[in-house]
C-alpha cells in the first residue's frame, strides 16, 4: 500500500480508487457495521475531494477565504486521524 507520508508518494485519484476497491473487498470491513461505515465514509471522502476540485472556481471571491479556512481545518482533522492510524500500525508492528 502506498505510503502517504510525503507529498511525492500521495497517490493520484485513480490509485486512491484502486486502494479503495481493494479495501472494499476485505471481508473484515464488508462484514461488520463499523467496517461498512468506514468504507462508506472513505468513499464519500474520495468523491467530495474531487467535487471540491471541480467546485473551487465557483466559490465567490468574498467566500474563498472562509471556505479555505474550513477545508484547512478539516484537512488538519484528517491528518490527526492519519497519525493515529499510523501510531496504531507502528505499535502493532514493532
The half-sphere exposure of 33 on its side-chain side, counting CA atoms within 13 A, is 0
Q: What is the pLDDT of residues 57-82, one digit of tens each?
A: 999 999 999 999 999 999 999 999 99
pTM, entire model = 0.73
The half-sphere exposure of 20 on its side-chain side, counting CA atoms within 13 A, is 18
Q: What is the pLDDT of residues 1-59, one digit of tens each?
A: 333 444 456 678 889 999 999 999 999 999 999 999 999 999 999 989 889 999 999 99
Residue 90, SS3 per DSSP: helix
Amino acid at each position: 500500500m502506498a505510503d502517504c507520508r510525503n507529498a511525492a508518494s500521495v497517490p493520484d485519484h485513480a490509485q486512491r480508487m484502486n486502494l479503495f476497491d481493494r479495501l472494499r473487498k476485505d471481508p473484515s470491513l464488508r462484514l461488520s457495521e463499523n467496517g461498512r461505515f468506514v468504507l462508506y465514509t472513505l468513499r464519500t471522502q474520495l468523491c467530495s475531494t474531487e467535487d471540491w476540485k471541480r467546485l473551487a472556481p465557483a466559490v465567490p471571491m468574498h467566500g474563498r477565504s472562509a471556505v479555505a479556512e474550513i477545508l484547512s481545518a478539516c484537512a488538519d482533522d484528517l491528518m490527526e486521524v492519519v497519525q493515529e492510524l499510523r501510531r496504531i500500525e507502528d505499535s502493532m508492528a514493532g
